[in-house]
Amino acid sequence: MSVPDLRRAAQRIDPLGPQQSGRYTDHVVAVVRERPPRDGDPGPAPIVRTEHFCLRRRGRRVEVGHWLRPDQLDNDLAGLLGEELFAPGWLSGPDIFERVFTGVVRSCVDGPLTAWTTFYDNTLTRIRECWEEPADSDHSSIAGFAPVYRRTLELVDGGTVLDMGSCFGFLPLMLARRPGRTVIASDLSRGTMRLLGAVAESLGLQLGILACDASRVPRPDASVDTVTLIHLLEHLDPQHGDAVLEEALRLARRRVIAAVPYEDEPTAAYGHVRSFDLDQLKHLGQRTGRPFEASSYHGGWLVLTPR
C-alpha cells in the first residue's frame, strides 16, 4: 500500500489553512473529532459506522466522524480509510480520499502545524520501530514502506540528493537527518511542498523544496549527486515516466535510484496507472542506454549510472 497521493487535489486543499477546533470543513466534506459512539446516541442514523469512523450525510456534504487519538495519528491512516470506507465502496475517488485524510489529521489535533507535526513525528517513529521489529505489512502502509525507505538510505551516498515526487516527504526528512547530505524534495503539489517545508523547519532540519513537474525540474545539468524516484513511476503513464527518468539522468552526477511496487494490475485507488515486474524494469533500464542494475527487494529497484 502506498502513501497517499496529494497531487490531484493540490490546488483545492490547503493543509495549513484555518479551521475550527476539532473540525475540518470544505465545500465537499466535513470531518469531525468526536467521542466513541454508544448505543442510543441521539442524532441522525449514520450511513455506516466502522471501528474508527462514522459516515453521515449532512446536506450536500459528506460528514466523517472519527475518534482517533493523537498517538494514533500516522500514515497508517491511509490504510484505515481504505479498508473501512473506500474499499467497501462507502466513499470513492482520490479527491474525496485526500479531503477526508486531510480532515482527519487537521481535526485530530488542534492547530494546523501541530497536527501535521504530530502526524510526521508518529510516522517517522513507527518507521524506525519497523526497522527494529518488522510488523505485518498487510495491515500497515508504514510497515510495507519501511524496508523500502531503509534500502533507499543504504543506496544513497553522501552529497546532494534530489527526491522526485516526494509527496509527504518522509524520505527527504530521513535523508536530511543524516550527516554529509544536502537534500532537496520536489513534488508537483505546491501545497504539499509548503507543508513539508514548514514541518522540516519545525523539526530543525535543513531541506530544500521545489514545486515542479518531475519531467521539468528547474536545475542545471549534473547539479546533484543522486536522484531518487521512490514509488513514483507507477503513477505516471509510460511517456511521462520516460521523460521523468530522462530528466533524472540529466540532473544526476552519480546515480539515479528508482523503486516501484510489483503488482499484477495497477492499484487505481492509490493513483497507480501501470504495473511493473523485474523484466519490465530491465527493459526500462535497457531503453535508457545507460549502465544499470535491476533487482527485487520489497518490489523492484532500478539503479542507473548517468554517464
Q: By C-alpha distance, which of 183, 180, 1 is closest to 79? A: 1
Residue 11 has pLDDT above 70, yes or no: no
The predicted pLDDT at position 37 comes to 81
Judge contact between 248 and 164, C-beta under 8 A: yes
Q: Tell me the pLDDT tens digit for each residue of 78-110.
A: 999 989 999 899 998 888 999 999 999 999 999
Strand residue runs (E) in the chain? 23-25, 29-33, 48-49, 53-58, 61-66, 159-163, 181-187, 208-211, 224-230, 252-260, 292-296, 300-304
Residue 10 has pLDDT above 70, yes or no: no
Q: Is residue 242 part of a domain?
A: yes
CA 2 – CA 89 distance, rounded (Å): 19
**In which band, very low, low, confident or very high, does the pLDDT at 7 lie, cut at 50, 70 and 90?**
very low
Residues 88 and 212 in one domain: no
Instruction: Name the helix (H) or strand (E) containing 238.
Output: helix 238-251
Q: By C-alpha distance, which of 91, 87, 93 is closest to 31? A: 91
Total structural domains within the chain: 2
Find the range with the poorest average confidence among 24-28, 147-151, 252-256. Answer: 24-28
Residues 85 and 165 in one domain: no
What is the average pLDDT score of the chain? Answer: 91
Residue 302: how many CB atoms within 10 A of its CB? 24
Residues 210 and 100 in one domain: no
- Predicted structure pTM score: 0.89
Residue 295 belongs to domain spanning: 156-304
Residues 278 and 166 in one domain: yes
Mean pLDDT of 280-288: 96
Domain final position from 114, 147, 178: 114
